[in-house]
Structure 1
Amino acid sequence: MFEKILIANRGEIACRIIRTAKQLGIATVAVYSDADANSQHVKQADEAIYIGESPASQSYLQMDRIIQAALDTGAQAIHPGYGFLSENDQFALACEKNNIVFIGPPVAAILAMGLKATSKALMEKAGVPLTPGYHGTNQDADFLKQQADGIGYPVLIKASAGGGGKGMRLVERGADFLGALSSCKNEAKSSFGNDEVLVERYVMNPRHIEVQVFGDSHGNYVHLFERDCSVQRRHQKVLEEAPAPQMAEAKLEVMRQAAIDAARAVNYVGAGTVEFIVEQDGTSYFMEMNTRLQVEHPVTEMITGQDLVEWQLRVAFGEPLPKLQHELHIHGHAIEARVYAEEPEKGYLPAIGKISYLHYPEQNQNVRVDSGIVDGDEITTYYDPMIAKLIVWGKNREAALVQMHHALGHFHVEGLGNNIAFLDRIIRCDSFKHARLDTNLIQREDEFLFKNIQKANAQLIISAAFTALLSLFKQNITANNPVWQAESLWRLNISNSYPIKFKLDDENILVNFSPVEHGFIAEYQGQNYQVSGTLIDQNSIHIEIDGKKDKLAFSQNETALTLFSNAQNFKFAYIRPDFNTDDSDSNDHNLKAPMPGVITKVLVSANDHVKKDDVLLTLEAMKIEYSIRAPQDGIIAAAYFQVGDQVKAGDELVEFQVLAEDVA
């Protein structure tokens, strides 16, 4: 086995690889950028080498620096993780030239599967079923439109070198094709350096199912069953589960065999994933092959009991596959949730900033957390905003759903927006609970997911106020330890009432507490409640309200207290005097950057007349392009940035003047 490997990645996947390497007695070398100097993967590795500035293009994508780091440290192999250089044939070739083992497939296999058009031609020859469409190399716009017209709308335009949901456009009418094609090609060129596309029939209400395959250098191939990745937003996965529910075994076997046929067709070695687009009746079509480990590999590990990173290391070292097909079996059901720093209610806007409080659910044989983030870390614009992967296992799907709901309820993040509550609503919605899965599930469940969000009730508000009160006293207050002994706030002949004031969602809240024999009477909105309890520690409280006992988690700082309940968080801001109320200089019509990022397009200039919803400029952040649109008909008085400029959240992008008739 290898004695030392270098991990050409960062974050949770680097930590994940380090964990298995340590179990096998393999020394590890981490690489890091400026932004990651104090990150967990750097601290967990045996050695760490600096490779450049924070942008990935200046660090994690610098092949020469990574190769040199491996040579300098005596690493025998490089594990690329996923993303970055994991499917880069030139990087794999550079490893080979420097006598470093690339822990991944052969260069030829990466090349064969790297372009969708090329891979589909190979798959057609191997007898793997394909989605009807044009997979050739002719990129003439008029020719591609003719192909789309012949296929019949709706069609999907897909970047040939694409992945992760980028470089894809759904076109429902012929009149929209050329515009969508141009947009898709621009995004593909920007993201992958290749603007070639293919055009396919759009499968209505499809499921997205992928099969985990492995091959070794001895000619052995196996599948480790499938994962359903249908729950997506913007073509990016949100929840994954294994095995695929509500699918006929015969249909699954067709996919599993097709995946092995695909791997064998390119002499594949190592871990790979063959992805299928699947009709509701179970008919499947080859979509693409990812020539690397997938983000969602833990669900496969949970149902098979196999360590896929260990398999990768053993196969790369030249060993045969640890198990043959008849030795692999499914045990129970697993679900993975990707916890992101983002705000689903605001169009999945990435959240940037420092995590002031982070608490993971307790891990055991049924609950696993893969992460490279700890309390106090910062989510930046440089990399993907995933905080962690939460993976649960149950003896069946229903048990796994219960585990996931419980685990999400004990996953607490404060300091920036996150999708924990959104994930919990997904697993509780009817479509997911009953496995009515397709890639449109989130849109279909829009009413439940976005319009019926739980509001703070009286019990939560009183709990927050009581937590603040106990924190103020800094001691537990009980019948045997009254308030006048806890703090020097009691005064003779002065009313012993303690008001707690908050602001929650722009609403002012006042709760008055009066000591009684067994705790307090809390007065809120004209109602009285009997309250008692104790602080367990600085982030949890036991509380009893009118005989109902709860244990709640919270975090607080000098400006606010956040209460966590049922996978949701409620932020109660302390009310402080605001002496700066002069907003005479404010201009509600000036459009500001919603997040830090880079300007990618400026489509207007001073004195331009624009219509409502016209795109004025585009901003790229967290690998996603956002359009800044005109809020109404108006005139551009000034545009303050150019293409390539870096902007901060809140920077004024354009000065926008409403037309006179609109103002009236």
Structure 2
Amino acid sequence: MFQKILIANRGEIALRVLRACKELGIQTVVVHSTADADAMHVRLADESVCIGPPPSRDSYLNIHQIVAACEITGADAVHPGYGFLSENAKFADILAAHNITFIGPSGDHIRIMGDKIEAKRTAKRLGIPVVPGSDGAVTEEKEAKRIAAEIGYPVIIKASAGGGGRGMKVAHTEADLEIALQTARSEAGAAFGDDAVYIEKYLEKPRHIEVQVFGDGFGGGVHFGERDCSLQRRHQKVWEEANSPALNAEERSRIGGICAKAIADLGYSGAGTIEFLYENGEFYFIEMNTRLQVEHPVTEAITGIDLVHEQIRVASGGGLSVKQEDIKFNGHAIECRINAEDPRTFTPSPGTITHFHTPGGLGIRVDSGVYSGYKIPPYYDSLIGKLIVHGRNRVECMMRLRRALDEFVVDGIKTTLPLFRDLVGNADIANGDYDIHWLEKYLAKGE
């Protein structure tokens, strides 16, 4: 097991990893920008190192400074959390060259799954169902029209190196295709420095289903069930559930088994999430995230297994603590992402939190790194906390969530709490009847 882990992140995920390390008896080092000097994870860590000014490129994305912090403090491993350098193959390679363990998969696996075209090819080879579309990058309008005619309109054009909805355009007819192709390539080039795009069949009313997988580092793999992340705004997840209200036990077992086998065949090590669009009983691979997800707590709630503990155990060479037959699903869990944003316009709302009170009681968990008097900096992601609720079934979970949201108090800034109070009372949400377009349509009606 590791002696000292450096946590290369900030906010609630840095605190989440720090707590797991303390439970395992591992010393912790956190890095921080000057803007985060008073952050909760900095206060609680055994050691902290300031690695630069507020801009991420000068601090949390500064690989050389992070490696130097490892060498100064004697850290023998780095946990990257999510975001920032968590899916940076170069970072993983550099750490390996310095005999520092990256708590995640190999640089090669990060590279494969970081390229959406190569990821789709790999998924297909591993037996994972994929969305019909181009086999590689599409550069010519003539080729795009031929592929679109073969798979049928509507189609969606996506950035090969992208994510978060950037470089993504839908064409409903051949007339739409030319401008959609040009726009997607332009956005992809500007956002990612790579204008390669590919084409897929556009599903009209799919759900977003993702399967939590783990490779043990020795050619074995397991799955921890699925999460439903269909409530999204601009392709960003807002509300996540486990298990999905749309799947039955047979479907859950089938797709989970496919994903676990694929991870084993790939020789993958650590946590990963295989994401699908799901429509009319069929799963279609869209991407794989080679890291811990923001929404991992809902999986922990229904399995009772600490996924960060598993990450650390696997990275240290100890393999997984459980076999597939040991993983049981208990009840239902929902996570709401609480952001420092206006609940209607979603404009960021940095500032000082004058009062912060979290809900409590059976089945309630709040992952947050903020506190009363904390000043939210304007430089980073607006996520300030996650409310995770667990119940014996979805009905109990929803009732508990409603109560928890009523107890949650954040004063001094605007947050998205009012949005979730509206959603928890909506009939479609109560019935689990929604798709990836539902939330944006709901928000548009309220404007």
Which TM-score band applies after superposition, normalised by the shorter structure? over 0.9
SS at match of 2:195: coil
Match of 2:359 among 347, 358, 361: 361
Change (3 A) 1:380 1:142: farther
Q: Give the residue type in structure 2 aligned to 1:95.
A: L
CA distance in 1: counterparts of 2:379 and 2:443, whole angstroms: 30
Aligned-pair distance for 1:444?
4.3
Aligned-pair distance for 1:426?
1.3
Q: In terms of mean alpha carbon deviation, does 428-437 or 254-263 score higher?
A: 254-263
Task: Report whether the alignment pairs 1:42 with 2:39.
Answer: no
Task: Report whether the alignment pairs 1:301 with 2:333.
Answer: no
CA distance in 1: counterparts of 2:174 and 2:381, whole angstroms: 35
User: 1:272 is matched with which residue?
Assistant: 272
1:518-533 equivalences under 5 Å are none
Task: Report whether the alignment pairs 1:334 with 2:333.
Answer: yes
Contact 1:245 1:435 in 2 (8 A): yes
Aligned-pair distance for 1:446?
4.5
Aligned-pair distance for 1:284?
0.5
Aligned-pair distance for 1:373?
1.4
1:462-541 equivalences under 5 Å are none
Change (3 A) 1:354 1:144: farther
Match of 1:370 among 367, 370, 374: 367
Match of 2:349 among 348, 351, 355: 351
CA distance in 2: counterparts of 1:142 and 1:344, whole angstroms: 43
Contact 2:359 2:407 in 1 (8 A): yes
Aligned-pair distance for 1:316?
0.4
Aligned-pair distance for 1:141?
4.5
Aligned-pair distance for 1:365?
4.4
User: 2:398 is matched with which residue?
Assistant: 401
SS at match of 1:405: helix
Contact 1:431 1:445 in 2 (8 A): no
Contact 1:128 1:261 in 2 (8 A): no
SS at match of 2:136: coil
User: 1:442 is matched with which residue?
Assistant: 439
Q: Give the residue type in structure 1 aligned to 2:342.
A: E
User: 1:325 is matched with which residue?
Assistant: 324
User: 1:286 is matched with which residue?
Assistant: 285
SS at match of 1:350: coil
User: 2:2 is matched with which residue?
Assistant: 2
Contact 1:429 1:445 in 2 (8 A): no
* Structure 2 segments unaligned to the other structure (5+ residues): none
Q: Give the residue type in structure 1 aligned to 2:266.
A: V
Match of 1:423 among 406, 420, 424: 420
TM-score calculated relative to the size of structure 2: 0.96
CA distance in 2: counterparts of 1:414 and 1:360, whole angstroms: 12
Change (3 A) 1:20 1:409: same
User: 1:72 is matched with which residue?
Assistant: 72
Change (3 A) 1:192 1:317: same
SS at match of 2:19: helix
Q: Give the residue type in structure 2 aligned to 1:350.
A: P
CA distance in 2: counterparts of 1:190 and 1:265, whole angstroms: 36
CA distance in 2: counterparts of 1:379 and 1:44, whole angstroms: 18
User: 1:379 is matched with which residue?
Assistant: 376
Identity rate of aligned residues, in percent?
47
User: 2:213 is matched with which residue?
Assistant: 213
Contact 2:222 2:260 in 1 (8 A): yes
CA distance in 2: counterparts of 1:73 and 1:61, whole angstroms: 19
CA distance in 2: counterparts of 1:142 and 1:65, whole angstroms: 47
CA offsets, 1:98-148, max 9 Å, x none? 000000011221112111100111111222111011130343355334433
Change (3 A) 1:214 1:343: same
Task: Report whether the alignment pairs 1:89 with 2:89.
Answer: yes
CA distance in 2: counterparts of 1:197 and 1:358, whole angstroms: 44
Aligned-pair distance for 1:150?
3.8
Aligned-pair distance for 1:174?
2.9
Aligned-pair distance for 1:374?
1.4
Q: In terms of mean alpha carbon deviation, does 373-382 or 50-59 score higher?
A: 373-382
Aligned-pair distance for 1:450?
2.6
CA offsets, 1:327-365, max 9 Å, x none? 11001110000011112322x222232222222112x44
Aligned-pair distance for 1:242?
0.4
Q: In terms of mean alpha carbon deviation, does 38-47 or 387-396 score higher?
A: 38-47
The number of aligned residues is 447
Q: Give the residue type in structure 1 aligned to 2:268.
A: Y
Contact 2:343 2:418 in 1 (8 A): no
Contact 1:217 1:320 in 2 (8 A): yes
CA distance in 1: counterparts of 2:144 and 2:62, whole angstroms: 35
**Quick check: which one's strand share is greater?**
1
Aligned-pair distance for 1:412?
1.2
Contact 2:95 2:102 in 1 (8 A): yes
TM-score calculated relative to the size of structure 1: 0.65
SS at match of 2:123: helix
Change (3 A) 1:267 1:37: same
Aligned-pair distance for 1:372?
1.3
Contact 1:251 1:283 in 2 (8 A): no
Q: Give the residue type in structure 1 aligned to 2:277.
A: I
**Quick check: which one's helix share is greater?**
2
CA distance in 2: counterparts of 1:249 and 1:429, whole angstroms: 26
Task: Report whether the alignment pairs 1:117 with 2:117.
Answer: yes
User: 1:18 is matched with which residue?
Assistant: 18
Instruction: Give the structure with higher Rg (CA).
Output: 1
Q: In terms of mean alpha carbon deviation, does 313-322 or 141-150 score higher?
A: 141-150
Change (3 A) 1:159 1:420: same
CA offsets, 1:146-169, max 9 Å, x none? 433443322112121222333322
User: 2:254 is matched with which residue?
Assistant: 254
CA distance in 2: counterparts of 1:358 and 1:141, whole angstroms: 54
Aligned-pair distance for 1:255?
1.4
Match of 1:414 among 383, 389, 411: 411
CA distance in 2: counterparts of 1:403 and 1:174, whole angstroms: 48
